[in-house]
Chains A and B, each alone.
Chain A
């Protein structure tokens, strides 16, 4: 049976299983005995299994969508008889995967030093089939980061498919900070100087106003009073100024290549208290085990790679991902590199982490809900519950089953991608 025929958009006549009619939607055509047209406002997914990421998995459940948003999830739910029904009774439905840090599809453009005013948006020109491989892998959103050393700029978060006007979810998003302590500290010190510059100018301005204004004169008209115009802040450092002043809804993503980078970055953070999360490159050989407890203590949000590492200069294997999670960190996972193959391997690698001893629920959250929370998109994505947007994937088996694969991808309530699966 081909993929296209498995899921059919059916009218109420064929979906005769749940004919509970909401009175409001009983149209005149039904009364007249004509075959009712599908109500495009509602889409109903009949799913064999739903991984909601909140509470228990649901078997033989129903997801009701309206306008690309999830209205209701559960079993035995009422929905309009003329809703568009997607028969996914042989599918496992789960939230789309989110990659919190990638350069997939971006050109190799490197920057050095501090570029807080740049973002990956200037490199984002996706071709029509740009993300086909990523969609095959089940990814519905990616955080694209600028490349380079120092502070190369800010990320953007995009959907991998869907209408062009709804593609970009966040622009700009977090600030990428590579593990270069001296650049990071110098940038923050410079930003601090910019703040002092503005404060000094304001002080001088107020002093001048006081001097100019004769004390005897009555309160001047509000319109005539000249407003304080702050001196311009150096554009590449503006975002760092915002971070220090805790103004904008932005955080710094501090990259750690090894355990020492954490100590060095924390040394800077002792002086500058800024919002931050971490990305740790736990490769095949990693000494990050040294700082697990410290990161766990501060309940850090951390992005990791789904691999079992080895302690340097030894044959000892360590499950760093589990160690971080158990220490109290909120772990998100990102593919090992930006190749399409790694995206497609992702669920297999997650399955491996579970096989090596990690909770299945946590592992699945680490590729869906936790990245959404890290990016500040957890109000919109990451779970299947009321109010969330319908960026879902349909698998033909369990998410961690090596035989299963992603068959359909839904973004904003529409099936936007179907995997081409060869006949067995």
Chain B
């Protein structure tokens, strides 16, 4: 039906094709529904360093060739930053979302993914990951046909931290893989290393003094003739990183688990006014308001378990409510599993194969479903500093889309299609991983005769015994 309408309307809307070409702009003729929160809101919140050079080049390169369209139609679209749209279309042009809404007109020669009866989400984001891409320079070292990347895509992940870069899971190509190189300035502020702590404070103080002098000079240079800019030769290497931190051009990342570690780093961040991402933070719930006020962002695993310290006269240890309490205090959360890698041999369900289920555990701890979803999409993108490009379905953002057969946080849900940069990177039916599991997409588990508890053909008396204990009520 949509396709037919598309054909009818296409001729009329040719004039609007030019408008479609620019990411972020809306075609004037079609009644396209825009998510409630405009992308600009998100952009303002993001750090100024997150430029989009890759996107710009791609768009210009592709413009010379043929435009590449892909549309996900008829799905229930969860925009995350906006409303949930029933039977809506997400149209991607050259890897950028060009239109979202129930009445989007499809261009001719548009690849169509029919998501009728399926749920459409933005691609999931792993704020901590290993083994999906190569460790350094992911565009050069990644195995783009690797099994790890494939199973991560099957888990709905489209963007992940690779070393210190943020990279897409562009299966089969290295085009537009890196979203943001050098995502973090790594800080070491461990209480076990007092000298390092003192050095870091001294360095930050030095850079802050320099910045104040620079401000003073900028203020005075118009009026005072003998005003001199402060010496800036030493602003390089780590000092350049610290300068970027203090001017909000970069985000800091550090591991901080316990109450005092978190309190210390929050104190440092609010003293020098920079944004810091803490990883771990299992005792975050004990200092949640402090972290919230300091603008600390956290990467946590809801299922992480640590016994409370019985000798401490304060709340200690982990709790499944951690995510919920941190979120309520205003901390931007990213949820990752305890083993933030792809392990095909370890404990099942504790690695990046089930990122969505890790978020579901936060829901068990009191976090709302919407916030849990945010913690693996837009908020995870914000933690990585790439929320201007990925993390939600909005016009002008990258077309990273997950189509799955149910609520993303439900344990039965399987990903049908994962779309990265407007290309289908994973199709459940075509890959041998999960193609055999519920191939028609039915949610009810088929009741096999020999399902657990297994009813075998026991001889004589044992059969009676087994039936007494076994669930033969079915």
Contacts and interface: CB of A to CB of B under 8 A. Distances in A.
Contact of A290 (B137, B142, B172, B344): B172
Given A290-B172, A312-B147, A260 B142 contact: yes
Query: What bracket does the count of chain A residues touching chain B fall in?
Result: 10 to 19
B144 interface: yes
Q: Which of A182, A313, A314 has the most CB of B within 10 A?
A: A313
A264 B140 contact: yes
Interface string B137-181: 101111111110000000000000000000000001110000000
Contacts of B147: 287, 312-313
Given A267-B174, A290-B172, A260 B140 contact: no
A277 interface: no
B32 to A, nearest CB: 35
A287 B142 CA distance: 15
B54 to A, nearest CB: 14
A287 B140 contact: no
Contacts of B442: none
A316 interface: yes
A316 B433 CA distance: 12
B60 interface: no
B174 A264 contact: yes
A316 B432 contact: yes
B134 to A, nearest CB: 10
Contacts of A311: 432
Contacts of B146: 258, 260
Contacts of B145: 258-260, 263, 287, 290-291
Interface string A259-297: 110011001000000000000000000010011000000
A204 to B, nearest CB: 34
Nearest to B175: A267
Contacts of B140: 181-182, 185, 264
Nearest to A289: B145
For the residues of B in contact with A, the DSSP-based class is: loop
A287 B172 CA distance: 11
A181 B344 CA distance: 27
A198 to B, nearest CB: 28
Given A290-B145, A311-B432, A313-B147, A182 B137 contact: yes
For the residues of A in contact with B, the DSSP-based class is: helix
A283 B146 CA distance: 15
A260 B143 contact: yes
A312 B172 CA distance: 15
Contacts of A185: 140
Interface string A333-358: 00000000000000000000000000
Given A267-B174, A290-B172, A258 B432 contact: no
Contacts of B433: 313
A185 B140 CA distance: 10
Contacts of B144: 259-260, 263-264
A37 to B, nearest CB: 66
Given A182-B137, A311-B432, A314-B432, A258 B172 contact: no
Interface string B271-299: 00000000000000000000000000000
Q: Which of A185, A258, A263 has the most CB of B within 10 A?
A: A263
A185 B146 CA distance: 22
A5 to B, nearest CB: 57
Contact of B174 (A258, A263, A312): A263
A409 to B, nearest CB: 41
A384 to B, nearest CB: 41
A121 B185 CA distance: 50
A17 B432 CA distance: 64
Nearest to B170: A263
Interface in B115-148: 137, 139-147
B147 to A, nearest CB: 6
A295 B205 CA distance: 57
A296 to B, nearest CB: 16
12 contacts: A181-B140, A181-B141, A182-B140, A260-B143, A263-B145, A263-B172, A264-B174, A287-B147, A290-B145, A290-B172, A312-B147, A313-B432
Closest A-B pairs by Cβ, 7 of them: A259-B145, A260-B143, A260-B144, A260-B145, A290-B145, A314-B432, A181-B140
Given A264-B174, A287-B145, A311-B432, 4 more contacts: A258-B146, A260-B146, A263-B174, A290-B145
Interface of B: 137, 139-147, 172-174, 344, 432-433
